[in-house]
Structure formats: structure tokens, C-alpha cells
Amino acid sequence: MSISASRVVYIGRRLLTGQKIAYWYRELGASDTLGAAKGAFQPYQAGLPVGAIFQIRQPAGDPTKILMNGPNAPRVVGSWPNPADIEAWRLDDLADAQAARTAQRAQNALQGIPDTFEQALDTLAAHFARLTATQKAALLPFVQARILSHSSREEPA
């Protein structure tokens, strides 16, 4: 099997849909120019910092596959030289990782809610759809306050 090698720079985790995270890399050209971005659901190597440059090996006939084990496994060969790029990538990485954790916590907290709650949300969303953005922004804190105050009120016997 013929193997080709290329270099990529790790630019951090990125949020896909919902709470799914992917690990993103940018291809490096011959003169260390950044090329296309590509994602993977598993990191090429765990625990490495944003800005790490990897050498990856692929079967020459299938550039979509990356050899992950043995002597052909991805290996770190350097670090991206521009600290401003690394800092921007790191901030995006942290923001997307936090958004994924928050979405996962929210999904876990909403497990088993009654169908009537879903219906109430659909009704509220339908009413909000008729409002302007300014009206929505003004009404949202009011709705939140009503919901929170209702849960602390005692129901009459």
C-alpha cells in the first residue's frame, strides 16, 4: 500500500449541531500556508494544544482516511508560529466546548418532561413568532419572571 504524508495544524474543537463536538484541523501547504479546514469526531492525538502541527499519513488511493495506529499514526512535528492565530483558535475552542457542555446539561435536565410542557412551549413560541425583535426582547424578561414567580407561589388548597 502506497502512503502519502501531509501536515495539518490543530485549530481546536468546534460545535456542530446540538452538543456534538468535532476536532478541526487546517491543512498546511508547502510554505506553511493555511489550507482547507477539516473535522474529525475523534482527535488525532488526545490532549494536545491548539496550534500543534501534525504530520498525518493517508493511503495514497483514499485521502479521506487517516492512518491512526502504529508507525504511521499522526505525530506532532511543530507548533504554529503566529500567537494571534493560536489565541483566536483557543478562544473559539473554549467557547464551543462550553456551548456543547451547556447544551448537554440542558438536554439532560429536560429528560422526561411531560408532553403538556412541550405543548405550552409550542403555544408560547407561536405567540412570540408574531412579535418584532424589539417586542420579543422586551417581553422575554417578563415571561421569565412570570415563570419563575409562578413556581414559587403556593397553590390554593
Classify 155 as helix, strand or coil.
Answer: coil
Q: When comparing pLDDT for 99 and 150, which is higher?
A: 99
The C-alpha atoms of residue 147 and residue 134 are separated, in whole angstroms, by 21
* Helical pair 133-152 and 115-129, crossing angle rounded to 10 deg: 150
Q: What pTM was computed for the model? A: 0.69
For the purposes of burial, counting CB atoms within 10 Å of the CB of 66, is it exposed (0-12), middle (13-18) or buried (19 or more)?
A: buried
Q: Residue 22: what pLDDT?
A: 93
Are 53 and 9 in contact by the 8 Å Cβ rule? The answer is yes
32-86 pLDDT, tens digit per residue, is 899 999 989 999 998 999 999 999 999 988 878 899 999 999 999 999 999 999 9
Classify 18 as helix, strand or coil.
Answer: coil
Mean pLDDT of 133-154: 83
The C-alpha atoms of residue 46 and residue 55 are separated, in whole angstroms, by 15
